[in-house]
Structures are given as structure tokens and as C-alpha cells.
Amino acid sequence: MGLHSCLNGTTLQTPNLSSILTFSSSPRLVFLPLHKPPLPRLIKTLSTSSPIETSSLTTSTFTSKSQNEKGGKPQWKATIDFKWIRDNKDDVAANIRNRNSDADLDLVLNLYDKMFNLQKEVERVRTERNAVASKMKGKLEPTERQRLIEEGKKLKEGLTALEEDLLKLNEELQQEAQRIPNMTHPDVPIGGEDSSTIRKMVGSSPQFSFPVKDHLQLGKELDLFDFDAAAEVSGSKFYYLKNEAVLLEMALLNWTLSEATKRGFTPLTTPEIVRSSVVEKCGFQPRGKNTQVYSIDDSDQCLIGTAEIPVGGLHMDSILADSILPLKYVAFSHCFRTEAGAAGTATRGLYRVHQFSKVEMFIFCRPEESEHYHEELIKIEEDMFSSLGLHFKTLNMASEDLGAPAYCKFDVEAWMPGLERFGEISSTSNCTDYQSRRLGIRYRPSEAQVPSGKKSKGNLAPLQFVHTLNATACAVPRMIICLLENYQQEDGSVLIPEPLRPFMGGLNVIARKS
């Protein structure tokens, strides 16, 4: 999900952009297997494959007549197995509590039962109507035909009313179910952020023989930033990068893209405006009360808070060939976040801003491989940050700190001497099939085909949802903080780490202007 994956902060007011403050429900959704797993593997099954062919009352797409009549766009629907939720309600309820989610499981199950019963009533009335229609095909007395016509008319009117009620109930059920978060990896610590556990500690904090400066002081003395002018032009929490800071940003981006492509990732640049529905499908809240998403007035579009969103939507509503999996992308984009409520010394300067450059890694893979690729992503992050000489720790984040899509999440926090604390510089999440069930991204396993090679439905493996993973390769502002504060020298200059020097035109040091 990338840096500050929870996306929390203040709404920024601009002439053309504003944060939408109301939404009928959170877009969160539980992505559940469509078969009932053995109880010892209950949570684990959310990181394994699940067939697409679903049981009754599993919803995928649904169009409301009332919405169409009003000319509105139908609410998108995700594939949710409500029967699985009902059959495993104790485990789902425990997961909701562990994540401190406000999802209402009892309401979801109540709506599911109502819809199940209403669906049976619709089928009963439809059968009666078909029976009446069949009787009218034969020879009948005029009075009998008239009676059947009247009966058929009443059945038709009753069926129409029932179907409209079913549509409304289905939509309500879908919206409430979308508030249920993904299940959680069994190794995730239960509790708040303080319950997160350290997976790895790398390096040690640098020792200085002179007073340490923070990145704001360094930036002022080396003429690298201008926050005051940016505040006049755009508002608070915007900035200009100047001189070598611009070169450093470009170096970080190009170095990161180079390192990721060496590891088999396909480079992308992405749209930075996306449809609100795609934001929702990826698990973010464009209409939440404390949203971090900038929405564009008089449109259904938003500015992205992370390249995870447009990359996740790249294969939306697609069936991928098994032979091309995994798909690995590394995407550059600018990111925009309202950062509502973000204030204080801990977030000053470049640490929490409204706009920044970021490189994001994203993987679409087979369900049984997602845990392997999650470890691969965190290893890539750790190797890159180690090569820059940073002191950092990798955390297994606790349940209450997970975003709704995440099955599990690892954060990387680096030591920032000027701030005198560790600060988050990266994270990587395994979202299992949470996003793909919303985005409609599936594949058909090739190994399960019948040897005869016939392309009939009966001998092909069932379609399955892919798993998605994301990881921040480089969030530029926080990396600049780390590099300036960790590589500052007594004379006020800042050394450039060796891996970045080829991307800085051979510049080895940022020195004071004469």
C-alpha cells in the first residue's frame, strides 16, 4: 500500500479540488474463499486459491432500476461469498474485533438471511407465473382464459415489486459487507501499533562529533527547499525542491527504477487521476469523513494517493493467462494526500506533505505464491536501504494498523538523526484476493487441464482470483530526510551515498553555496 498506507490527514481546500466528506459506507470488503476450508486452515485459506464459481447469493455485478431511472451510475459490486461468512461467523467476528473495525457483521448476516428468503419467494412467484403462462397455451374457455390473464397480471405485478425489493436489499447487503476487512495472517500480532513486532534490525545509528541538524536546517543552509513560497502559491505542506535537492530526487527515482528492473519488474508511469470506483476497489475511501483522497469536483475522479491504485486497475475485469504470472511492475507517480489532522513537530518539513514523488512495486500472482512474493518484496526493500547505509528496522505490523485490504503488512522505519527517532519510509502488504475480487482480476490455472487438450468447459480448471501485493520502493521526501540527516558533515555539507552518485552526474557532496 505504500507509505502511510492508512492515508490519514487534513483536507486541503483548493479552487478545483476538494475532499468528499460523505459516503454511505466504508468501501472495505472481506475477500473470502468460496469453499469451506478445514477449521485449522481457516485464516490461511485467504492466501490460497479460491474458485470463482460461487454458491447462491454470491454477488458480482448488480444494477439497480432506481439508479438507472435517476440516470446515476450503478454502484460497483464485488464477489463476496456470504455463505462462507455466515458459516464462519465466529472467526469473521473475531477478525473484525482484532482489527478494531466498525463493520457490523450481525447486520450483514441479517440482510443475507432476508435476501436468501426473498430470493426463494421470487423464484416461487416466477414459477407460478410460468405455470399460468403454460396453461394459456392450450385451448381454454373464454372465462378461464380471462381468469388466467388476471392471475398472470397480478403475479407479474407482484414479481416486479419483489424483484425491486431484492435489488435494494442486495445493494444494502453489498455496501454493509464491503465494510468487513480482509482476514488476517495468523502470525500478525493482535493489537494496536505498539503491539507490532520487530522482524529485523539493520545497521546502527551514526555517531556525530558535532551538533546534529535536522533536514529543515540543512535544507535552509544548503538552499535546497522553499516551504514559504510554496505555502503562498499552494498552501501549507507543499514545498519547492531547489538545486541539488532536485538532482537528489531524480537520482533516487532513477536508481530505484534501475534496481527494480534488474530484479524483473516492468517499469510504468501511471495516470495520476483515476475513477473513484477504482480507488474504492483498491480499498481506499474517497468519500470517507476523514478521507486522505482528493476528489475532483463535478466528476467521478480522484487524484491518486499511491501508484498502487492505477497499477491495481491496470488489469481490471481481465482473465490473465496462467503462463504470464507473476506480473511484476515498478511504477513512478506523483502522490496526493490530504493528510487531515497531521500537525506537530513529528510531521514537520518533508515528513508529511500533500504531494510527493514515489516509486511503487506491485505484483499480481497465483494465490499459493503470494506469501513467497511478500518476503521477496521486503527483501528488495531491505537490500536497497542497506546499500544506502541506512539504519532501519523492519516491523510485522499489528492487526489494528493493517489497512482493510492487507492480510499482513511489513513496515520499514529508518533512523532520522535530526528528528531523533525512527520514521516510516516504506511498507509492503500482501492483500491476497481482497483487491482482485473487487477489481475482477482472474486467471485459469493451466496445470489442471485435462490431457486431451479439448477446450471445453468441462475439462478446464475453474477461474480463480489472483493475489495482489504492493511495496514502496522509494518515497522521495522521507528518503531525502534520511540522506540529509544521516550523511551530514561537520562543515555543513552532505555526502551523497555511493550508489546514487552515478545518477547525480558524479556529484559526491552537497556543499554550501559560496
178 is annotated as contributing to ligand binding: no
Does the active-site annotation cover 444?
Answer: no
Report whether 127 belongs to an annotated binding site: no
Tell me whether strands 421-430 and 408-416 are parallel, antiparallel or unpaired: antiparallel
Strand order of the β-sheet with 17-18 is: 17-18, 295-296, 301-303, 273-275
The residue to which cell 468528499 is assigned: 20
Q: Of residues 424, 429, 436, 485, which has the active-site annotation?
A: 424
Active site residue 478: yes
Active site residue 369: no
Which of 492, 437, 434 minimizes the C-alpha distance to 464?
A: 437
163 among annotated binding-site residues:
no
Closest CA to 66 of 207, 172, 191: 172
Say whether 339 counts as a known binding-site residue.
yes
175 assigned to a ligand binding site: no
Residue 45 assigned ligand-binding role: no
Query: Residue 390 burial (CB < 10 Å; 0-12/13-18/19+)?
Result: buried
Is 424 among the catalytic positions? yes
The answer on whether 338 is annotated among ligand-binding residues is yes
Pick the catalytic residue: 99, 352, 366, 438? 352
Q: Is 386 a catalytic residue?
A: no
Angstrom distance (rounded) from CA 426 to CA 449: 40
Which residue among 26, 47, 295, 427 is the active-site one? 427
List the catalytic residue out of 99, 129, 287, 337.
337
Secondary structure, 3-state, 102-130:
CCCHHHHHHHHHHHHHHHHHHHHHHHHHH
58 marked among binding-site residues: no
Length of the chain: 514
134: burial class by Cβ within 10 Å (0-12, 13-18, 19+)? Answer: exposed
- 306 labelled as ligand-binding? yes
Residue 218 burial (CB count, 10 A)? 23
Please tell me whether 353 is known to bind a ligand.
yes
Q: Does the annotation place 337 within a ligand binding site? A: yes
Q: Which residues are catalytic?
A: 337, 352, 424, 427, 478
Annotated binding site for L-serine: 306, 337, 360, 470
Residue list, annotated binding site = 306, 337-339, 353-356, 360, 424-427, 470
- State the binding site for ATP: 337-339, 353-356, 424-427
